[in-house]
Structure 1
C-alpha cells in the first residue's frame, strides 16, 4: 500500500443563499496550503485547507481529514459542525 498525504485548499462561493464549491487546489506542504487559504479568505465566501492521507493505489481515504485552516463560510458538516 502506497500512502500519500495531500494538502488541499477548497474555496466556496455564494450562489443566492447556497454555498457551492469553487476552485480546488493541491499543494506540496501544509504551510503552502495554509498561506493560500489565508490569501483567499478575502476573495471567496469561504475557504478551507485540509490534510488528507490516501492510498495512491486504490484511492481509498485512509484517515479523516485534518483541518489546517478555515475562513469565512463553509458548508455545514464540512468542518465538524
Structure 2
C-alpha cells in the first residue's frame, strides 16, 4: 500500500439561492493550499482547503479529511456540524 496526502482547495459558488461546487484544485503543500483558499475568499461564496490521505494504488480514502482553512459559506455538514 502506498499512501499520499493530497492538499485540495474546493471553491463554492452561488447559483441563485443554491450553493454549488466550483473549481477544485490540488496543491503540493498545505501552505500552498491555505494561501490559495485565503486568496479565493474574496472571489467566491465559500472555499475550503483540506488535507486528505489516500492509497495511491486503490484510490481508497484512508483518513477523514483535515480542514486546513475555510472561508465564507460552505455546505451544511462540511465542517462536521
Q: TM-score range by the shorter chain?
A: over 0.9
> How many pairs align?
81
2:26 matched residue in structure 1: 26
Moved over 3 A (4+): none
Is there any run of 5+ residues in structure 1 with no aligned partner, and where? Answer: none
Report the TM-score when normalising by structure 1.
0.98
1:50 corresponds to? 50
Q: Which runs of 5 or more structure 2 residues have no equivalent in the other structure?
A: none
Query: Structure 2-normalised TM-score?
Result: 0.98
Q: Give the superposed CA RMSD.
A: 0.4
